[in-house]
Structure 1
């Protein structure tokens, strides 16, 4: 592993020195690859184009991120920004606000969730292209863009010292497999009880796994201590990057998905213009929901409120905003 870690730091150094003029682009890409973006950006955008694809994005994002957390607990995995300090290395590299994540590094969550979620989107686009053109060449274009996206997101994670190359590669391969498998098993039309069981089942499973690993002597707080020790700035350590934040986000989104489907089965049927309006208002709503400040102490209160915040995401996108648009557009027609 030392060879892989040393090579990874060398690659990060080369990237930072050789592409310094593209620094802002790398930071934007790493934000777009954040698992949170799958819920707040990719899901609403996809949903208002194709409901089934949007639902698949939400489902795949939640399950793949939850599994990523579990894999990180079991596989551990150093992160470059603290490994450099622990090994007294002095490469010409620097950190960024997105660098200092507190969970273990392997596999990369950004690469894993991006690979899983965008596989769903790309295959849906490819099917439409093939149905309309019957051209294999044109159908291959989305898959080439998909591969390019994974490369760029992976390089951005190496650039900011969040991951080693082998962690990015492992995340991308695992995410691709999950995208293929989960994308074919989307739970449309399931009763609320199903989502209640899935949501709290995954939450309790994560707590149980954490408890068992702790009981057998595995210190799951090791990465948090290292992140706090070697992060350049204290304010860059955020509770919403902790593993349990990911778990509560995933479980909250799944419960919200179930509530949305039970509240309005099949969603709202809207023409193109109202759908575009719904996307705009949903995006604004999610922006403000995401920016809601939450108390970080006690931690249990933070996680509960974080859970509720992401319960609201599917409700806003699937029911509240399109329902309001449907009501007002129909009212105008009647008037």
Structure 2
């Protein structure tokens, strides 16, 4: 363990050098990197991206919701397991620079630097990896489904989409380094975990994907309860082992240059509340298959509804009192449980590509034609 700890310290030291080099290469580019890093913010996916996707394709929306909540849940558990620091406080706490007989370098902090969770793996990179994977697959599938015949330029189109996906992941990783929220290896680890996780949750060749898509309300409620139970168990296990689950929050308060930049939404506990609420809301709104044949909303109206829902969610979040921690977390739990319910109950469009539905429609049509008289049949198609 001592050897591993020393090796990690050396990796972090090299990572700090990379961060300082990046900050020196792009001086005064805080706002640009802030905008890029927001692409990996999971809060936007829960309140905006999932409803917007529902206006286009309900299956896409469900895929995004599942990868978001499972990805964030696993990310938090891994952060509690690895217990790695963030650059902006690690550089103040480590003694590796004294070992080398040099002064610890100064890292520039921005308004987005002071996140309060542990550092590894990067939640933004992991979230961007799962969401980007789902979106890239959907865009490619939509393009290829427009024609019954293979398109000669389809391979080039697929390469282009996956290249854009890779570039966005790279930019988000660089933005996390620039604001000193993550070391390079933490960004790489987040992306490396997110990609296979997204495949496992959304690929029809994956048994995990087939399980949640074919499960009823009871099974998904059990899964949501398991997520909540394991989350609480992980929290109290740390307490039992003498580890403060909020150790990273204390370091953030200690070394953040401006406490105004500290937000409760970046804590692990808040993220777990959001995940558990979303999981229960999704489970209550299922079974998944019934939502694919619900009433249709026009795409523009659905998108307008999604934007209004996002504004309403933000307004409710601002009005939640923070004086009592139990009231605060309970309100956010029910808020995020209500979001999937609203999206799945009122946004759905029929899935015209559903083979079972298409087959039943064809069967009904054939039966009707067989029952109709020849004169009625001619009148129908004239």
Same fold (TM over 0.5): yes
Name stretches of at least 5 consecutive residues in structure 1 with no aligned partner: 324-335
Q: Is the 8 A contact 1:64 1:113 kept in 2?
A: yes
Q: Which residue of 1 aligns with 2:339?
A: 313
Q: Which residue of 2 aligns with 1:327?
A: none
Q: Does 1:123 align with 2:137?
A: yes
Superposed CA deviations along residues 280-304 of structure 1, whole A, max 9, x for unmatched, are 2222212331342222333222211
Normalised TM-score (structure 2): 0.78
Deviation for aligned residue 1:79: 0.2
Deviation for aligned residue 1:203: 1.2
Q: 1:94 aligns with which of 108, 116, 135?
A: 108
Structure 1 residues 162-311: aligned runs within 5 Å? 162-184=181-203, 185=209, 187-188=212-213, 190-261=215-286, 265-266=291-292, 268-270=294-296, 274-291=298-315, 292-293=317-318, 294-311=320-337
Q: Is the 8 A contact 2:58 2:347 kept in 1?
A: no
Q: 1:137 aligns with which of 142, 153, 156?
A: 156
CA distance change for structure 1 residues 30 and 267 in 2, over 3 Å: closer, same or farther? Answer: farther
Q: 2:170 aligns with which of 151, 166, 180?
A: 151
Q: Distance in 1 between matches of 2:346 and 2:55?
A: 14
User: Which secondary structure state, in structure 1, belongs to the residue aligned with residue 291 of structure 2?
Assistant: coil
Deviation for aligned residue 1:7: 1.9
Deviates more, 1:196-205 or 1:106-115: 196-205
Normalised TM-score (structure 1): 0.88
Q: Which residue of 2 aligns with 1:109?
A: 123
**Count of residues paired in the alignment:** 321
User: Which secondary structure state, in structure 2, belongs to the residue aligned with residue 295 of structure 1?
Assistant: coil
Q: Distance in 1 between matches of 2:305 and 2:141?
A: 29
CA distance change for structure 1 residues 268 and 95 in 2, over 3 Å: closer, same or farther? Answer: farther
Deviates more, 1:215-224 or 1:107-116: 215-224
Q: Does 1:4 align with 2:11?
A: yes
Superposed CA deviations along residues 126-153 of structure 1, whole A, max 9, x for unmatched, are 2233344352111211111110111011
Q: 2:37 aligns with which of 18, 27, 30?
A: 30
Superposed CA deviations along residues 293-326 of structure 1, whole A, max 9, x for unmatched, are 2223332222111111211222333334679xxx
Deviation for aligned residue 1:183: 1.2
Deviation for aligned residue 1:180: 0.9
Deviates more, 1:206-215 or 1:251-260: 251-260
Deviation for aligned residue 1:70: 0.3
Q: Distance in 2 between matches of 1:99 and 1:254?
A: 29
Deviation for aligned residue 1:262: 5.9
- Report the aligned-residue RMSD: 2.2
Q: Distance in 2 between matches of 1:82 and 1:191?
A: 46
Q: Distance in 2 between matches of 1:141 and 1:76?
A: 37
Q: 1:77 aligns with which of 56, 59, 84?
A: 84
Deviates more, 1:283-292 or 1:154-163: 283-292
Deviation for aligned residue 1:6: 1.7
Name stretches of at least 5 consecutive residues in structure 2 with no aligned partner: 1-7, 96-102, 204-208, 350-382
